[in-house]
Amino acid sequence: MAKKNGKSVYIAALLLFLGGLGYLLFTGFSQNSVYFLEVSEALAMTPDQLGSARLFGTVKADNIKRHEEGLGVNFILEDANDKSLVLPVVFKGAVPDTFKAGAEVIVEGNIDDATKAFQARTLMTKCPSKYEKKNRE
């Protein structure tokens, strides 16, 4: 009888562990899930539908304005495939050194209903090709 109780304790502990692990994974993924879209897809959605999103595009050559008070930048994000589709972006934070006109960037945030601009919480630039390993033959 003592042997049976020991086995059930291990089974109960395993079930509790797996249940807790499953709960942590579920809540972690649901809270941090962000859609990855191009500018054209974001423009086709309403701010309610868009919610929190991660957008990919290219920094338009004109209208890059660094914030006078320090960190941050306002710029226009162009669609990667259709340069006529653009979205204004406001970013408050440290701007990467590789940020410049024509750079491919990823911004994460949401649309501000009042200004219709994308309020970016994060700004990442794609590394330029000069950092990529060259094919040596």
What are the tens digits of pLDDT across the range 19-31?
A: 988 888 777 665 5
Same domain, 24 and 66: no
38 vs 2, 26, 49, 73, 113, CA distance in Å?
62, 27, 15, 20, 19
Q: What percent of the chain has pLDDT over 70?
A: 82
Same domain, 47 and 13: no
> pTM value?
0.67
Domain count across the chain: 2
Q: Alpha-carbon distance 63 to 119, whole Å?
A: 16
Same domain, 70 and 124: yes
User: The domain containing residue 76 runs over which residues?
Assistant: 34-129
**Region 59-63 average pLDDT:** 88
Q: Which two tokens stand for residue 22?
A: 């499953």
Per-chain mean pLDDT for the chain: 83
Q: Alpha-carbon distance 58 to 69, whole Å?
A: 25
Q: Could you tell me which residue, 62 or 103, shows the higher pLDDT?
A: 103
> By CB neighbour count within 10 A (0-12 exposed, 13-18 middle, 19+ buried), where does 6 fall?
exposed
Same domain, 19 and 38: no
Q: Alpha-carbon distance 38 to 57, whole Å?
A: 6
Same domain, 28 and 41: no
Same domain, 60 and 94: yes
Predicted local distance difference test score (pLDDT) of residue 1: 46
Please check whether residue 69 lies inside any domain of the structure.
yes
Are 31 and 23 in contact by the 8 Å Cβ rule? The answer is no
Q: Could you tell me which residue, 84 or 62, shows the higher pLDDT?
A: 84
Same domain, 85 and 111: yes
